Structure 1
Amino acid sequence: MTHRRDLLTAATARLREGGVASPEHDAAELLAHVLGTTRGRLVLVEEVARSAEEEYADLVERRARREPLQHLTGVAWFRHVELAVGPGVFVPRPETELLAGWAVEHATDGSVVVDLCTGSGAIAKAVKDEVPGADVHAVELSEDALSWAERNLEGTGVDLRQGDLATAFDDLAGTVDVVTCNPPYVPLEAWESVAPEARDHDPHLALFSGADGLDAIRVLERRAAVLLQPGGVVGFEHADVQGESAPAVFAETGRWADVRDHTDLAGRPRFTTARLAR
């Protein structure tokens, strides 16, 4: 048996050596996962059995090779909901919680909310969790991601469908109050700049979107204009370098009012919102 502190110290050093951005946090999360407890309760653990130590060492090595932490634990937390995630689905990022929060603020009982490119179902599940009376719909193109969304949205009452954001929800045209989307927005030429966790493990369908990264956002602009009723609102995430180019996709069409960009907690441009002109 080995003491918890010694295991965490060694694991943190290995993760730092591998370039993991949060080595202390990830080392603790992985040990808590192996021991079936929480990171906050690790202080109650003194010695770690050899079998658990071996499992932990394997997970630490995989994380050091930049396999996503959430793939190793099988869980991602998003606002107030737990999501099952793994290979084949985009791991939701904390930054996207801000977009989901905006959607929650604009949804009310009876509101029709559509989440395009739902991936794991994160935004849709969060909105339904916080605004139970909202009529929430979600769509995902990838079969692999759809299977994760089905698992996460089961029993929530969210209407989940498989389809393309460009053609989804013809039956809701002109009736939607809120559209949300976390589309692919990474330019193809930016391949090398993407973190290994995303580049090597997230589905490329959820990452890359043409030469300038705006192809999916252009499609979103057209589809949101069809789905929303006049005065309805749309919000979508974008890369921090697209703080001007992403809002411009909407502003230049003349169909939208109140086109605004919003920053994340680090002050970086992160998502755009707009209202369909009446």
Structure 2
Amino acid sequence: MEDRRRLLTAATAQLRAAGVASPEHDAAELLAHVLGTERSRLVLVDQVAPSVAESYAALVARRSAREPLQHLTGVAWFRHVELRVGPGVFVPRPETELLAGWAIEQARTLDDPVVLDLCTGSGAIAKAIADEVPAARVHAVELDEQAHVWAERNLAGTGVELRLGDLATAFDDLAGQVDVIACNPPYIPLDAWESVALEVRDHDPHLALFSGDDGLDAIRVLEKRAALLLRPGGVVGAEHADAQGESVPAVFTRTERWTDVRDHRDLAGRARFVTARLAR
């Protein structure tokens, strides 16, 4: 038998040496995963069977090679919902929960809201909205076929209508009828390749990451599409990089189609997402 504390200490050191940003957390999550328990209950475990310790060592080695934690466990949590994730789909980030929360707040003010999640990826935002605003009619679209398969799994049974398609052309049938649009588009400039974390650059689909020389190509498409799809007075919110706190809002303000253009900061105080209201 292996001592649980010794295993965790060794795994944490290995992950830290590999440059993993949260070595203690990840070491504990992986051990809980192989034990079939929760991280908070690891204190109840003293000894670990050799076969489990071997499986754990294999996962720690893969995480040390910077394979995403969520790919190893197969699960990502987003607000109050569980998502299945793996190769071929963008792993949802905690900061995106703020954008989803904004969309949920907007939808809750309406009696029968029509909500769109454009570039849905794993289906995270759409599933969270459907979970927290049962009255909402939620629609989602994803362009990448592999990611669409993951979204199908995650949105099954939620009532969300999922489509395979491009945000630039999707939902013509809902033109002028939508109340709330949320979008986590690709927004990394192509020349920022070297600065992207290995877990993201080497494992998330590039279609979900990069968006032209300045990172704003998808945002420009979103602005035009949202102007078509929203009813007058409808709102759109879109995530962006922390360095785009001025350039992304400018995409909306310069068209003079929008009012209440506002940028929002995340919990670390970094510019994180923009919201705007279609002029009446």
- TM-score category by the smaller chain? over 0.9
Is residue 66 from structure 1 mapped to residue 66 from structure 2 by the alignment? yes
- Structure 1 unaligned residues grouped into runs of 5+: none
Look up the match of 1:213.
215
SS at match of 1:20: coil
- Structure 2 unaligned residues grouped into runs of 5+: none
Q: Deviations over 1:199-231 (max 9, x none)?
A: 000000000000000000000000000000000
SS at match of 2:179: strand
SS at match of 2:262: strand
Q: Deviations over 1:90-148 (max 9, x none)?
A: 00000000000000000034100000000000000000000011000000000100000
Look up the match of 1:275.
277
**Structure 1 residue 155 displacement after superposition:** 0.2
What is the CA RMSD across the aligned residues, in angstroms? 0.4
In structure 2, C-alpha distance between the alignment counterparts of 1:252 and 1:48, rounded to whole Å: 61
In structure 2, C-alpha distance between the alignment counterparts of 1:85 and 1:118, rounded to whole Å: 13
Look up the match of 1:155.
157
Q: Deviations over 1:177-205 (max 9, x none)?
A: 00010000000000000000000000000
Look up the match of 1:76.
76
Q: List 4+ stretches of structure 1 deviating above 6 A.
A: none
In terms of mean alpha carbon deviation, does 152-161 or 103-112 score higher?
A: 103-112
User: Residues 116-195 of structure 1 correspond to what in structure 2 (within 5 A)?
Assistant: 116-195=118-197
SS at match of 2:42: helix
Quick one: which of 256, 259, 264 aligns to 2:258? Answer: 256
In structure 1, C-alpha distance between the alignment counterparts of 2:183 and 2:64, rounded to whole Å: 31
In structure 2, C-alpha distance between the alignment counterparts of 1:253 and 1:116, rounded to whole Å: 21
Q: Deviations over 1:131-174 (max 9, x none)?
A: 01100000000010000000000000000000000000000000
Look up the match of 2:100.
100
SS at match of 1:28: helix
Look up the match of 2:16.
16
SS at match of 1:260: strand
Look up the match of 1:229.
231
Look up the match of 1:40.
40
Matching residue's letter, 1:13: A
**Structure 1 residue 274 displacement after superposition:** 0.1
In structure 2, C-alpha distance between the alignment counterparts of 1:28 and 1:121, rounded to whole Å: 27
Quick one: which of 243, 246, 252 aligns to 1:244? Answer: 246
**Structure 1 residue 42 displacement after superposition:** 0.3
Quick one: which of 112, 115, 120 aligns to 2:114? Answer: 112
In structure 2, C-alpha distance between the alignment counterparts of 1:248 and 1:195, rounded to whole Å: 27
